[in-house]
Amino acid sequence: MKHFKLLVVFFVFTIAVSCGQQKKFVTYKVKKGETMRVIAKRLDIETKDLLRLNPDVGRRPKPDTEIVIPNKKLTKTIEVKEEQKDAIVKDTIQKKDIEKVQIVEDIDNNYLLHAVRKGDTFYSLTRHYNVLKEDLLVLNPTLSEGLKLGTIIKIKQRIEDEELDEIYSDTISDNASVRVALLLPFRANVFDTVPSQDIFKNRTLPNIATDFYLGAELAIDSLRNQGIQIDFTVFDTEDRNTKINELILDKSFDGKDVIIGSIYSDETKKLASKVKVPLVFPIFSKAQTSFSSSKIVKTSPDKHLYKEKLLSFVSNAYRNENIIIVGDSTATSINEINQIANILKQHDSINEVHTIIPHYGYIAQERFLKMMKPVDSIIPVNNWVIIATENDVIASDAINSLISFPDPPEPEDEDEEPEEKVNYDVKLFGFNKYDNVTYNKLAQLGFVYVTDTFVDESSLAARVFNKQYLEKNKALPSYYATRGFDVTYDLIIRLASGKNLYDTFKDGISYRVESKFDFNKRLLGISQNKGLFLLEFQPDLSLKRIE
């Protein structure tokens, strides 16, 4: 068969499709290969304006994603061979290559919008946008009938330059199959002769291992019910750095898609040098900062990320507040609060930051008052106090000083008018929650802190998990049980997509029962979860997620 080289002339032509004129906005289904930039160009609008109209959609939306576009003529550029022009034009017009779009009501540009897609739930929307279901119902009365595919709904009033995270969409490929190894130190060799009722008394490790396993087991059950074939093998690593060597020599992990464990950092490093699949470190350890292998996936954020999260919020929210940083008397703490002050001063408007440390182990209230600005000053200023010490006694002492302020002294002369009490508006910030301080005190100060866990007990996901766990184990889940569920579920559902686990980290953030997984894969380095919440105490002692 002869092969001929043909000189083919290409040219570009456009097909204009009218989208109706009676409404300002319509929905449009993204085609394969289209980006927001391409669509915006065809609409003759700025890409940033199209992104603002679709805040929950990234720059490269997946095919069939429904987006909101201005109701104007949309042109499509098609590249064809000269000799195929007539046939393609005729075929394109007949098939209406750009599908008919759904006409929607006029939309107020002052609101963030969301096109309801397959898999959306009230829980996923409230988690993503940090709003209440009640707020969505007020803005969208038709939601009382449920979420309807393709409906454009208002989420909340738009905040200038607000950036929204891309949320990972759980997908399960056909005939999805995942092989998982879970490594936990049950130490059955030690507790084999111990009465069952005594195993968990005053022993932290057995409780952690058992609870994590029970949570992971529930995740496996849930995922199997969704049609995923899971080969789930549990290994007892027994005493530290003993059984793990035997498992490595026996090649027990060959053929696995992912390994969850060990919970010991030194064992994890040893495993990383011997296995070829992702190795998941499931809980937090201070030693995790020493990890360097590209195979390791850290599921708990490093502590320095807590500081970055809070300081970023303070800098972005700053509106001429008076900032005071509280530390302790150690050299480490003094260096820390000076670093924090310098970071905050990098903000264009923050020129002054006060720092305060104890004298003789105590911070007198008078020292606070000299730094604080009163409410009734000529220009009222809020006082923002950042607790930057891990010393619970100093933190508790400082909080007590900020709760109540002294009344002015009684006048010596009866005819003399008493001084008015000076009031101060104080808001408290911290890198973690202080369990030795009552919630009532923290609520009085509107305490804002960073945490890696947050659960909305009223959410469907939390209610279902708690119910199933209680039915199966006759007890409510502990922190480690929920952790076992969240870590196991997130990893397997990502692998069930058919993608490489590391590639799924680029597809967005996932929220599970009480964990947020925002993985960042470093080039030639480990994968780090940056998922943190910012919570604020409300006057009724409840917690509100503000980020």
Residue 20 has pLDDT above 60, yes or no: no
pLDDT of residue 92: 38
Per-residue pLDDT band for 362 (boundaries 50, 70, 90) equals confident
Average pLDDT over residues 23-36: 79
Task: Find where tokens 């204009």 sit.
Answer: 16
pLDDT tens figures, 41-97: 888 888 877 887 777 777 888 888 878 887 765 544 444 444 444 443 333 333 333
Who has greater pLDDT, 377 or 170?
170
Of 100-114, 162-176, 358-372, give the range with the top mean pLDDT: 358-372
Cα–Cα nearest to 493, from 245, 308, 257 = 257
Task: Tell me how long the chain is.
Answer: 547
pLDDT of residue 410: 66
CATH architecture of structural domain 305-407+420-451: 3-Layer(aba) Sandwich (3.40)
pLDDT of residue 295: 94
pLDDT tens figures, 497-518: 999 999 999 988 999 999 999 9
Of 191-195, 393-397, 406-410, 529-533, give the range with the top mean pLDDT: 529-533
- What is the percentage of the chain residues whose pLDDT exceeds 70? 81
Per-residue pLDDT band for 23 (boundaries 50, 70, 90) equals low
Residue 6 has pLDDT above 80, yes or no: no
Per-residue pLDDT band for 19 (boundaries 50, 70, 90) equals very low
Q: By mean pLDDT, which of 93-102, 193-202, 296-305 is the weakest?
A: 93-102
pTM: 0.76
CATH assignment of 177-300+457-518, among 3.60.20.10, 3.40.50.2300, 3.40.50.720, 3.30.360.10: 3.40.50.2300
Identify the burial level of 299 via C-beta atoms within 10 angstroms of its C-beta, where 0-12 means exposed, 13-18 middle and 19 or more buried. buried
Who has greater pLDDT, 203 or 404?
404
**Core vs surface per residue 337-354: b (16+ CB within 10 A) or e:** beebbebbeeeeebeebb
Q: Which residues contact 212 (CB under 8 A, 6 or more apart)?
A: 184, 263, 282, 283, 480, 481, 483, 484
516 pairs with which residues across the strands?
511
For the chain, give the mean pLDDT. Answer: 82
- Contact predicate 278/501, CB 8 Å: yes
**Core vs surface per residue 248-282: b (16+ CB within 10 A) or e:** beeebbeebbbbbbbbbbebbbbbbeebebbbbbb
**Rounded Cα–Cα distance for residues 442 and 401 (Å):** 12
- Contact predicate 268/300, CB 8 Å: no
pLDDT of residue 168: 87
Average pLDDT over residues 167-190: 89
Average pLDDT over residues 95-124: 62
pLDDT of residue 60: 83
pLDDT tens figures, 250-286: 999 999 999 998 999 999 999 999 999 999 999 999 9
Who has greater pLDDT, 115 or 358?
358
pLDDT of residue 361: 83
Domains in the chain: boundaries: 10-157, 177-300+457-518, 305-407+420-451
